[in-house]
Amino acid sequence: MAMAGCTLLSVTVPSRFIARCNASTGDLSSVDPLKIAGDLGADSHQLLIGLVPSTSESSVLSSSKVYKRASLSSDGSASKHLGRWMPQPDHAIDLQGILSSLKSTGRAEELDDLLNEWKGKLSFRLMVTLLNQEKDWQRALAIHDWMCEKGGYRPSIYSYNIVLRNVMKARRWTLGEGLVGEMVMNGVKPDKFTYSTLISSFGKAGKFDSALMWFQKMEENAVLPDLITYSTLIELCARVKDFAKAVSLFSKLRASGIQPDRVVYNSMINMYGKAKLYREAENLLEEMKSTGIDPDTVTYSVLINAYAESEKYEEACNVFRDLRARRVALDTTTCNMMIDVYGKLGLVKEAENLFWSITELEVYRNVVTYNTMIKVYGEAEHLAEAFRLFHSMEKRGLAPNIVTYNSVMKLFAMVNNEERATRLLKKMEDRGVEANAMTYSTLISIYGKTGKYEKAARLFQSLRARGFPMDQILYQAMVVVYEKAGFMAHAKRLLLELNHRSSVSRDTAINVLAKAGKLEEAGKLFLSAYKNGEVKDKAVFENMIDLLARSNRSALLLDVYAKMRESDHVPDSRTCYKVMESYGKLGLIKEAEELYLELKENGYRLGEEVHWLMMKLYGNARDIESAERLFEELKSEKDLPDNLVHLNMISVYERANLLDDASRVFQEMKQREDVAS
């Protein structure tokens, strides 16, 4: 068999393959040999099945010629029979026998010889069936080439789509795109399945730009996307966190008249949740219900997770209540999240009830379930229950992981039990669980609290000596131990070490210095790191703001806050309080109000102390009208204690010497208490 081609990296590349790689542009001069060799693989004989032309080609361009077949019937098969070119009835053909014989072929010539025996005997429908059952991309390509070049079948959208599916599944991206170009040159118009195959394949591979490019081509060629195409792209947008593109695609889906399904709704609710657009997420949930699509476990789980991540625990509870009311099946992940949410709200009993009722709900308790419940017990200082659960976990044959051991280590730290903490570390090592920075920092803290300063120092030095990654919490723990022991020179030396770039990251160094109260050192390092673009962690800004608040440096605090917002970080409730307090000290009430309203309007959970502070700032500025307006708003907030809302307003009136108003609000408070009781 003659062949026009070229040799690249010891792999014989046929000109037909090169043409396919550039079919969409028709430009062969830009062929990338490395890319083609990568698509071909290692063994040219094995991989060139179906790629080697059956006749000699006079030029590279001849391989991309448009197939022109004479006397073809409407189904693509030969309309006349010459000699043995007589199609047999489909039921008389042993299709499995042919497939079995095809699988035994290893070279292009063998496959051609086998198919030539059936030339003219197989209908187009049967050939497509044969092609569809061949899952190997190389052999499928070879069969398709034989159909078009030798078998007398004209190029068809059905056969091209089957080959494209196999090629894309094998991640042969260049070849797949080239096949589409070849289709067009052969007069075959790509259809919905063609584009969906490309989009979903690129999407699953994380090739966002390629998937979107083919979606745009789909729209340009007036091929209407279907629900699966939109769903694939929206899910891909979620993976790459392109919120704007996801919303745009969702809008196009709706405008096209396609009804979103549960998968699309879940993806969009997840996207809105991560973007902290809770109202939109809740609206989509209601829209789902109104269109007759029942929310499932995933729907509720992503919404609960979004609220929990933003510390909107009450809202997470409301979603969970809706889930239970609609009798939606629970899963382990949702239960674990809700146990944690109950713990954050101090609802230990509710967390406990959910934990023990899991088996009745046909949900499996995993290591994370136990870890979460142990943490809830620990934070509530229910130490006996936490230890009991840890031992119960071991008895049930559930192997504790590093999170479990760290939680138990913290329990020992709460009771300053150095001996049991040391034994726990040994137990971890014996079981092959590698301790991390959290484990060692907790142990160092325990040594410091129990006066075992030398032990703490030895452990810290041994970690450095063996090249253990020195996290900020290790430095912080050791600095505290040195200061507690009165070894100020050692503490200072350790802090100075943080200024060396090779020791730890800038973020780590700033955090440690800030937590240690070293204002000058932390400030200098922060400004230098920020100028060089090295401050990445939101916690660095928060720790600097905390340090400056303790040092009563309001102007500097607001400067750090401005840099925090420039870095696209939004303050949490605790940081918000400190920033608003600094605004108040500098008489910048309008700026404090703007921050308060911004966070409130965007649905961020603010601690009650932030509301009281805003009311107080209005009072200090003698803006009684604004304070009264806020008072009326807060009275309707179910999460806020009613008596505290009234007491804070009374305080505003008293400082303004408006005693009659203070008395009136006090009487109102008493009446509301009587009604409530």
Residue 584 belongs to some domain of the structure:
yes
Asked if 556 and 523 count as a contact pair (C-beta separation under 8 A), the reply is: yes
* Interacting residues of 47 by C-beta distance below 8 A, sequence separation 6+: 40, 41, 138
Which residues pair with residue 7 across a beta bridge? 12
* Interacting residues of 580 by C-beta distance below 8 A, sequence separation 6+: 592, 595, 596, 610, 613, 614, 617
pLDDT at site 76: 42
Task: Mark 464-484 as b/e (b = at least 16 C-beta within 10 Å).
Answer: eeeeeebbbbbbbbbbbbbbe
Q: Give helix then strand counts, H and E, for the chain.
A: 37, 2
pLDDT at site 498: 66
Find the CATH number of the domain harbouring 631. Answer: 1.25.40.10
Q: Tokens for 517, please give them.
A: 């109260």
Helix or strand or coil: residue 377? helix
Residue range 224-251: average pLDDT? 83
Asked which of 85-94, 417-426, 457-466, 500-509 is least confident by mean pLDDT, the reply is 85-94
Statement: residue 66 has pLDDT above 60: no
Statement: residue 644 has pLDDT above 80: yes
Asked if 548 and 556 count as a contact pair (C-beta separation under 8 A), the reply is: yes
This model's pTM is above 0.75: no
* Amino acid identity, position 363: V
- 437-484 pLDDT, tens digit per residue, is 999 999 999 999 999 999 999 999 999 899 898 877 888 889 888 888
Hey, which of 249-258, 261-270, 482-491, 665-674 has the most confident mean pLDDT?
A: 261-270
pLDDT at site 4: 32
Cα separation, 205 vs 610, in Å, equals 46
Residue 255 belongs to some domain of the structure:
no
Q: What are phi and psi of 12, to 5 degrees?
A: -75, 115
Give the pLDDT band of residue 196 (cuts 50, 70, 90).
confident
Cα separation, 73 vs 81, in Å, equals 12
Give the pLDDT band of residue 221 (cuts 50, 70, 90).
confident
Statement: residue 240 has pLDDT above 80: no
Residue 624 belongs to some domain of the structure:
yes
Helix or strand or coil: residue 8? strand
Asked if 399 and 366 count as a contact pair (C-beta separation under 8 A), the reply is: no
Higher pLDDT, 485 or 510: 485
pLDDT at site 188: 87
Cα separation, 386 vs 364, in Å, equals 20
DSSP state of 582: H
Positive or negative: CA dihedral 95, 97, 100, 102: negative
Cα separation, 269 vs 289, in Å, equals 13
Give the pLDDT band of residue 505 (cuts 50, 70, 90).
low
pLDDT at site 361: 84
Statement: residue 559 has pLDDT above 90: yes
* Amino acid identity, position 390: F
Taking the CB of residue 209, how many other CB atoms lie within 10 A of it? 9
Cα separation, 324 vs 306, in Å, equals 18
**Rg of the chain (C-alpha set):** 35
- Residue 123 Cα distances to 85, 86, 130, 182, 206, angstroms: 11, 10, 11, 24, 39
pLDDT at site 231: 85
pLDDT at site 555: 93
- Taking the CA atoms of residue 248, residue 252, residue 253 and residue 255 in that order, the dihedral angle to the nearest 10 degrees is 140
pLDDT at site 606: 83
Statement: residue 155 has pLDDT above 90: no
- The per-residue DSSP string of 61-119 comes to GGGGPPP--SSB-TTSSBSS--TT--PPPGGGS-HHHHHHHHHT--SHHHHHHHHHTTT
pLDDT at site 63: 33
Statement: residue 5 has pLDDT above 70: no
Q: What is the tally of structural domains in the chain?
A: 1
Helix or strand or coil: residue 533? coil
Q: What percent of the chain has pLDDT over 90?
A: 38
pLDDT at site 583: 95
DSSP state of 60: G
- Residue 480 Cα distances to 146, 407, 468, angstroms: 77, 21, 20
pLDDT at site 94: 64
Full domain range(s) for residue 612: 575-677
Cα separation, 575 vs 51, in Å, equals 65
Residue range 387-397: average pLDDT? 91
Asked which of 340-344, 586-590, 642-646 is least confident by mean pLDDT, the reply is 642-646
Asked which of 235-239, 329-333, 389-393, 607-611 is least confident by mean pLDDT, the reply is 235-239
Mean pLDDT over all residues of the chain? 80
Give the pLDDT band of residue 290 (cuts 50, 70, 90).
very high
Residue 60 belongs to some domain of the structure:
no
- The per-residue DSSP string of 588-650 comes to -HHHHHHHHHHHHHTT----HHHHHHHHHHHHHTT-HHHHHHHHHHHHT-TTS-HHHHHHHHH
Helix or strand or coil: residue 6? strand
Cα separation, 348 vs 637, in Å, equals 24
Residue 663 belongs to some domain of the structure:
yes
- Let me know the angle formed at the C-alpha of 657 by 656 and 660, rounded to the nearest 5 degrees: 115
Cα separation, 85 vs 140, in Å, equals 23
Residue 109 belongs to some domain of the structure:
no
Statement: residue 557 has pLDDT above 90: yes
CB neighbour class for 162 (10 Å; exposed up to 12, middle 13-18, buried from 19): buried
CB neighbour class for 135 (10 Å; exposed up to 12, middle 13-18, buried from 19): exposed
- 415-442 pLDDT, tens digit per residue, is 999 999 999 999 999 999 999 999 999 9
Residue 609 belongs to some domain of the structure:
yes
Asked if 136 and 169 count as a contact pair (C-beta separation under 8 A), the reply is: no
Residue 519 belongs to some domain of the structure:
no
Cα separation, 266 vs 296, in Å, equals 9
Statement: residue 274 has pLDDT above 50: yes
* Tally of CA atoms within 13 A in the half-sphere of 47 that contains its CB: 18
Which residues pair with residue 72 across a beta bridge? 78
Cα separation, 461 vs 482, in Å, equals 13
Q: How many residues does the chain have?
A: 677
DSSP state of 14: E
